[in-house]
Structure 1
Amino acid sequence: MKLDPFYLIVDSAAWIERLVPLGVRLVQLRIKTIDEARLCTEIRKAKALCAEHQCQLIVNDHWRLAIEEGCDFVHLGQEDLQTADLSRIQSAGVRLGLSTHDHVELAMAIFADPDYVALGPIYPTILKKMKWAPQGLERISEWKRRVAPIPLVTIGGLNPGRLDGVFEAGADSAAVVTDITLSSDPEARTREWIEKTDRWR
């Protein structure tokens, strides 16, 4: 499986409606605090928008709803991995991405046979408080050796100026949240990411 090198992560279908038409090919819907009815609405809208624009949608955490809504890709953190029904996810034909931050989590992720492994934070990040120090570029190369041929996603503190470094270290895809969503011009920043990652397609 090949992942697009530009991996956008947003917290609403409104962001998907705004940014995916610019040429985004891989997007994660990451919604943490919302009631189930509204979450279903968000997933349905995101799915329809992504289908319209030939973009791969990945649903964060909510694997049951993803299956019910006919989505074909979910991303789980390590906490969710402990409770998720992986056999049900697999039998539904849903692909799986997993987060990792250390060697123990990496071993657990590889055992689950995911469709990609994510490593982070690569650099300091403001998205959420992390108990892990920044991983750095050498860790990317180590993880790539460990997970290949599974695609490796990098996340945490990335911006266009850091992309060549992470791809040269072995990343297959670079995920971004705040560098775009907190930008004064998210559309322009998205175009910059697309242009910068084009050479790694």
Structure 2
Amino acid sequence: MLQLYFIMGSVNCPRLSPADTLREAIAGGITLFQFREKGSGALQGSAALELGRQLQAICREHAIPFIVNDDIGMAAALEADGVHVGQEDEPASAIRERLGSGAIIGVSAHNLEEARQAIVGGADYLGVGPIYPTASKDDARAVQGTLVLTELRRSGLDIPLVGIGGITAGTALPVMEAGADGISVISAIAGAEDIRRAAADFRQAMRR
């Protein structure tokens, strides 16, 4: 499920509509989708909720899990498959109480201490990074490189890890070899000239 984890909102779609961007990414082989409506010009309120509902319907049509970034209220309103939160958001244990035992809860972690705290709180997987420099997130932390993935694995953690931040099809394999179970991608797919081909290139690179 976590192998090719696509993240996108309306501000990340320079070529096609968000709906068409998602459809092309699904055709290329993404395995999970996170709706992240953030950044300059992002939709707010009911407009964001309506876009989320539209993208969720596409995911359901293709049996792709639909995750909401940060917004627990939206996740609950849409009955999303889960939510992904950062270190500054509600703890996973509190989110679990609101969304139920079946919700997928992902937590961003940048070091071993944060990873252990997230696991104790009930996280189902960790988003680790940024691995490489990225321009997709204004609030991105310092670049971690693949060493942080290796450290988490060597510590004995067996929770699924997803690498995120500046990953391309050409750099996906080292991320997987460092211990990731999957990779998260925003602009390398959403901003590609051929979105379907870009997603397929990631899947092919990870199979190698």
TM-score bracket, normalised by the shorter chain, equals: 0.7 to 0.9
Asked whether the equivalents of residues 82 and 104 of structure 2 are also in contact (C-alpha less than 8 Å), the reply is: yes
Aligned equivalent of 1:181, options 187, 190, 208: 190
* Secondary structure of 1:79's aligned partner: coil
Please give the alpha-carbon distance, in whole angstroms, between the structure 2 residues aligned to 1:67 and 1:74: 9
State the partner residue of 2:2.
4
* Secondary structure of 1:136's aligned partner: coil
Please give the alpha-carbon distance, in whole angstroms, between the structure 2 residues aligned to 1:130 and 1:72: 25
1:28 maps to a residue whose letter is Q
Aligned equivalent of 2:177, options 162, 168, 171: 168
The structure-2 alpha-carbon separation of the partners of 1:4 and 1:129, relative to structure 1 and needing over 3 Å to count, comes to: closer
Question: What TM-score, normalized to structure 2?
Answer: 0.84
Question: What TM-score, normalized to structure 1?
Answer: 0.86
1:153 to partner: Cα distance: 0.6
Please give the alpha-carbon distance, in whole angstroms, between the structure 2 residues aligned to 1:72 and 1:24: 16
1:173 to partner: Cα distance: 0.7
The 5 Å alignment of 1:32-47 reads 32=38, 33-47=42-56
Whether 1:105 and 2:103 are equivalent positions in the alignment is: no
Asked whether the equivalents of residues 6 and 33 of structure 2 are also in contact (C-alpha less than 8 Å), the reply is: yes
The 5 Å alignment of 1:139-158 reads 139-146=148-155, 148-158=157-167
Please give the alpha-carbon distance, in whole angstroms, between the structure 2 residues aligned to 1:60 and 1:130: 14
1:97 maps to a residue whose letter is G
State the partner residue of 1:50.
59
Please give the alpha-carbon distance, in whole angstroms, between the structure 2 residues aligned to 1:111 and 1:35: 33
Please give the alpha-carbon distance, in whole angstroms, between the structure 1 residues aligned to 2:116 and 2:45: 32
Q: Unaligned stretches of 5+ in structure 2?
A: 11-17
2:125 maps to a residue whose letter is Y
Please give the alpha-carbon distance, in whole angstroms, between the structure 2 residues aligned to 1:164 and 1:46: 29
Larger proportion of helix: 1
Please give the alpha-carbon distance, in whole angstroms, between the structure 2 residues aligned to 1:68 and 1:132: 30
The structure-2 alpha-carbon separation of the partners of 1:152 and 1:115, relative to structure 1 and needing over 3 Å to count, comes to: same
Asked whether the equivalents of residues 176 and 206 of structure 2 are also in contact (C-alpha less than 8 Å), the reply is: no
Please give the alpha-carbon distance, in whole angstroms, between the structure 1 residues aligned to 2:85 and 2:136: 17
1:109 to partner: Cα distance: 1.5
Percent of aligned pairs with the same residue?
A: 33
Asked whether the equivalents of residues 106 and 123 of structure 2 are also in contact (C-alpha less than 8 Å), the reply is: yes
The structure-2 alpha-carbon separation of the partners of 1:22 and 1:183, relative to structure 1 and needing over 3 Å to count, comes to: closer
Matched residue pairs, number? 197
Aligned equivalent of 1:138, options 118, 136, 147: 147
State the partner residue of 2:32.
26
Q: Unaligned stretches of 5+ in structure 1?
A: none
